[in-house]
Chains A and B, each alone.
Chain A
Amino acid sequence: MESISIEGTPKTPTVDFNADTGIIEIKGRSIPENSIEFYRPLVEWLDDYSNNPQKLTTVNIQLEYFNTSSSKCILDVFKKLETIKKARNDVVINWYYEEDDEDMLEAGEDYESIIRIPFKMIEVVD
């Protein structure tokens, strides 16, 4: 299965999805006006990946900013991961937030309360 590797822009994040290692990363900024377009291939990739996932899938989300349009798409990503976990695979979600960024920590907690995968909250200190 092909990996996805997308370079970040001022409005879209850096994305690395690797089926061989089971490491899935979204980093940077996600603030496009219409995020469905950007996230559709990522969700489709996860759909494929869920057919034959690694025993352990490690998800690293390290976003500086994301808008509400992205928030729904990010939930779609998490819902795919929930499916993988339900099929008795390990999924670890690492949610990174900048020191003192309560809003970003809370955003992670919001997701954690909706999907049934525990999050590891990791504070990044400069």
Chain B
Amino acid sequence: MSFDIDEQFSKMNEGDVLLAYKGSITAQLITNVLGVVETKLDHVIEKSITKKKIYNVLVESLQNLYHHVDDLPEEFNNDLDIHFGIFVVSMIDDRYEIRTGNFIKNDKIKSLKERLDKIKSLSKEELKELYKFVLNNQKFSDKGGGGLGLIDIARRTDGKVDYHFEDFNPDFSFFMLTIVI
């Protein structure tokens, strides 16, 4: 196997790490993590608006994981928890970074890439218009996502979103998203 999860996870643990997680992404986990992060942020950040921004972006990025993680075939169940994902919240210099990682079916990569590249290319005003359009016109997907998560993150961070894909096997890749606040 060319791609090693543990190695990837340690690489993501960059800077001053507030929280790092590797395992099943569940609704209960997200509730707990948000509670912990909120308490920590109260200690390290004075400005309530910065705290809010980080919290908002964290909610969206974790719930994106929750809605979009692809499960690997059963043969991997011994090694990895179901609904597997990883995320790290850290401080690098004076910025906060949220990194997430999850498996994705290879046939979905093209459209996700196109979506992300489009969102990254838009100005603040264009993002606002796109957000309003999707809000008003697009129905919820069967996964419960509204198609707004990435747009919302880009709006709040002025497009400071980066991504890459690592090959895993012929059917799956590992998708990593880095958000800078």
Contacts and interface: CB of A to CB of B under 8 A. Distances in A.
Interface of A: 10-11, 31, 33-34, 36, 64-65, 67-69, 71-72, 75, 98, 100-103, 106, 110, 113-114
Q: Which 7 A-B pairs have the closest CB atoms?
A: A68-B148, A34-B144, A68-B152, A72-B146, A33-B27, A68-B146, A31-B59
A65 B55 contact: yes
Contacts of A98: 48, 52
A36 B67 CA distance: 14
B132 to A, nearest CB: 5
A98 to B, nearest CB: 7
B140 A67 contact: no
Interface string B138-158: 001000111011011001100
Interface of B: 27, 30-31, 34-35, 48-49, 52-53, 55-56, 59-60, 63, 66-67, 128, 131-132, 135-136, 140, 144-146, 148-149, 151-152, 155-156
B45 to A, nearest CB: 14
A46 B161 CA distance: 39
A67 B135 contact: no
Nearest to B156: A103
Contacts of B151: 68
Nearest to A103: B156
A68 B148 CA distance: 6
26 contacts: A10-B31, A10-B35, A33-B63, A33-B66, A33-B144, A36-B140, A36-B144, A64-B52, A65-B59, A67-B56, A68-B146, A68-B148, A68-B149, A69-B140, A69-B146, A71-B148, A75-B135, A98-B52, A100-B48, A100-B49, A101-B49, A103-B52, A110-B135, A113-B132, A114-B135, A114-B136
Nearest to B64: A68
Given A10-B31, A98-B48, A100-B49, A110 B63 contact: no
A72 B140 contact: yes
A113 B125 CA distance: 14
